[in-house]
């Protein structure tokens, strides 16, 4: 790592955010020290967050010497470009493009899973069907490889794995089984769980489910 490049590195984040967890895992994988700043999302947002991300007003934001980098996948790319050490993205340009595609695609897991606990009736059934297709597509892309990039844990793995603790809740609301719908993805999740960077960044599914229950009460969802 170049001298001084971690100076003033601060991550504005929220404890259960899978998007913030992407950044935490990446920072751990690359061995980059940083300061963690927990943000309030359901109440009054901090002036620091609003100044740092005035467009979306959301976490995560990485402050590097006071300069903000917003959006989780943008932050992952930034870390790979600025810091040496283990690369997250593959060296081949075509493979890098593919990794970026699948990382962005994986956001659908969270988007559709959220619809499962927010909506009911036909809307929930539609979200369920779409989520099952997304999981099947990710399962197909993973194939028989240990990780999405092959033998090494990399960019797509970092992007997808924070959604794993949310899956039991999505399974319950959607009445499906990831093990049945995407067995290779389920096995991959178990492999990832053994990594120090993952285990140290994610929370147990029970905590995530408690958070979803709190959100439902907050938004008045029965």
Q: Same domain, yes or no, for 68 and 104?
A: no
Q: State the pLDDT at residue 2.
A: 39
Asked, for residue 132, whether it belongs to a domain, the answer is yes
**Mean per-residue pLDDT, 28-34:** 96
Q: State the pLDDT at residue 7.
A: 61
pLDDT at 200 over 90: yes
Torsion over CA: 187, 143, 137, 101 (sign): positive
Cis peptide before 60 (omega within 30 of 0): yes
Closest among 70, 177, 167, 60 to 109, alpha carbons compared: 167
* H helical segments located in 30-106: 47-52, 72-82, 93-105
Q: State the pLDDT at residue 166.
A: 98
Closest among 117, 107, 125 to 211, alpha carbons compared: 117
Count of residues in the chain: 222
Average pLDDT, the chain: 96
Q: Same domain, yes or no, for 120 and 200?
A: yes
Q: State the pLDDT at residue 85.
A: 84
The single residue listed with the structure tokens 């924070």 is 162
Please report, for residues 12, 34, 133, 135, 218, the alpha-carbon distance to residue 178 in angstroms, rounded to integers and kept in the order given: 31, 34, 11, 8, 28
d(CA 125, CA 170): 12
DSSP 32: -
Percent of the residues in the chain that have a pLDDT greater than 90, as a whole number? 95
pLDDT at 1 over 50: no
- Domain with residue 75: its CATH number is 3.40.30.10
Closest among 103, 106, 62 to 82, alpha carbons compared: 62
Q: Same domain, yes or no, for 165 and 200?
A: yes
Q: Same domain, yes or no, for 28 and 113?
A: no
Tell me which residue range forms the domain holding 172: 93-219
Q: Same domain, yes or no, for 75 and 121?
A: no
Strands 67-70 and 61-64: antiparallel
Tokens of 84: 């040496």
105 or 1, which is more confident? 105
**pLDDT of 138-158, one tens digit each?**
999 999 999 999 999 999 999
pLDDT at 173 over 60: yes
């Amino acid at each position: 790592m170049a001298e001084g490049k971690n100076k003033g590195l601060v991550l504005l984040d929220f404890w259960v955010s899978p998007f913030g967890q992407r950044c935490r895992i990446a920072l751990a994988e690359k061995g980059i020290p940083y300061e963690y700043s927990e943000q309030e999302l359901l109440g009054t947002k901090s002036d620091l967050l609003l100044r740092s991300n005035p467009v979306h007003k959301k976490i995560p934001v990485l402050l590097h010497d006071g300069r903000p980098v917003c959006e989780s996948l943008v932050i992952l790319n930034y870390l790979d470009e600025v810091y040496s050490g283990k690369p997250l993205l593959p060296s081949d340009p075509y493979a890098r493009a593919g990794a970026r595609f699948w990382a962005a695609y994986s956001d659908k897991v969270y988007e559709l899973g959220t619809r499962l606990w927010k909506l009911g009736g036909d809307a929930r059934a539609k979200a369920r069907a779409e989520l099952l297709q997304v999981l099947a597509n990710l399962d197909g892309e993973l194939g028989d490889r240990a990780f999405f990039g092959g033998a090494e844990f990399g960019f797509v793995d970092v992007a997808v794995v924070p959604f794993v603790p949310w899956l039991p809740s999505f399974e319950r609301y959607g009445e499906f089984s990831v093990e049945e719908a995407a067995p290779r993805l389920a096995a991959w999740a178990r492999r990832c769980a053994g990594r120090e960077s993952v285990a140290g960044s994610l929370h147990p599914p029970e905590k995530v489910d408690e958070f979803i229950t709190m959100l439902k009460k907050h938004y008045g969802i029965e």
